[in-house]
Amino acid sequence: MDKLKKVLSGQDAEDRGGLSEVAEATSLSSGTRIKGFIACFAAGILCSLLGTFLLWVPQKGLYLFAVFYTFGNIASIGSTVFLMGPMKQLKRMFEPTRLIATILVLLCFALTLCFAFLRHKGLALIFCILQSLGLVKRGFVIFVMG
């Protein structure tokens, strides 16, 4: 509809490059963005809850918890890509005010998964706790710094 309005008003007369046409063709409508955000965020919460329930499984519970909890957090953070787009999300994550929190969270994600797959229960649990603290700090920085 927006493209039709531009053509009818004469704003579409300039020669556009192929990259702008690709960006326009692959952009999502606002309704699709909201649905994608909700689906990805719900999947993240479901993974985190499933990880919490799997914590009580004998012998492998802590490993399953670490993996599902981390994937749930990654999906929850990744859901915001639907709202603002991947490039804007990455630019905002690595702004100077958010850089330390972002690196801390990403490092904790990686180390949690590494230690879970290497079967180091204690270290996997420590990095699960640290990733939670990092997410709280990241959320606080986003809330305060904008």
Domain boundaries, the chain: 29-145
Give the per-residue pLDDT at 2. Answer: 60
pLDDT of residue 4: 46
Q: What is the pLDDT of residue 92?
A: 86
Contacts of residue 78, defined as CB under 8 A and 6 or more positions apart, other chains included, come to 40, 44
What pLDDT does 38 receive?
Answer: 92
Residues of the chain with pLDDT under 50: 4, 7-8, 13, 15
Cα radius of gyration (the chain):
20
Whether the model clears a pTM of 0.75, i.e. scores above it, the answer is no
pLDDT value of residue 8: 47
